[in-house]
Amino acid sequence: MSLYSEKVMDHFRHPRNVGIIEDADGVGEVGNAKCGDIMKMYIKVKDGILTDVKFETFGCGSAIASSSMATEMIKGKPLSEALTLTNKAVTEALGGLPAYKLHCSVLAEEAVQAAVLDYYKRNNIPYDEADFKCALCAHAHDHDGEGGES
């Protein structure tokens, strides 16, 4: 299908870092099933470095590819660097996404932040809310308010 770039299809067909981390140091889940996308990110942290990252995603091809790409981009990096990951960077690394699929890369950015935020909270590590504007406003991004239950 030419809907997606080769890079997106590669990450969709062969997602990297799929699965869960049983003893994760931080877990972040964003999106909701009603909208058709849920991303769950698991991280292991040692000395401020993301030693392992895994994900599970319920969603379309670009959601799966965005999750996969995001894990690849942050694995082995310091937490501070992972927090600078933007949806734009994920999209660019994927060779672009159709306009109406950009929200999938936003979810990937949010999932990373949510997992790191969870790690900080579990360990009572002080953090700057400005670094988590995406994860903290995730409720504004999900679509619970739209349409109502049917």
User: Applying CB under 8 A, does 137 fall inside the site for another protein?
Assistant: no
Q: Which stretch binds another protein (CB under 8 A): 7-15, 86-94, 112-120, 129-137?
A: 7-15
Q: 35 an active-site residue?
A: yes
Number of residues that bind another protein (CB under 8 A): 34
Q: Which stretch binds another protein (CB under 8 A): 43-51, 70-78, 113-121, 140-148?
A: 140-148
Q: 137 an active-site residue?
A: no
Enumerate residues 6+ apart whose C-beta is below 8 A from 105.
62, 66, 87, 88, 90, 91, 94, 97
Enumerate residues 6+ apart whose C-beta is below 8 A from 33.
58
The only residue of 22, 100, 126, 130 in contact with another protein, by rule CB under 8 A:
100
Rounded Cα distance between 16 and 19, Å, is: 9
Structure tokens at 64: 């799966």
Residues with catalytic roles = 35, 104
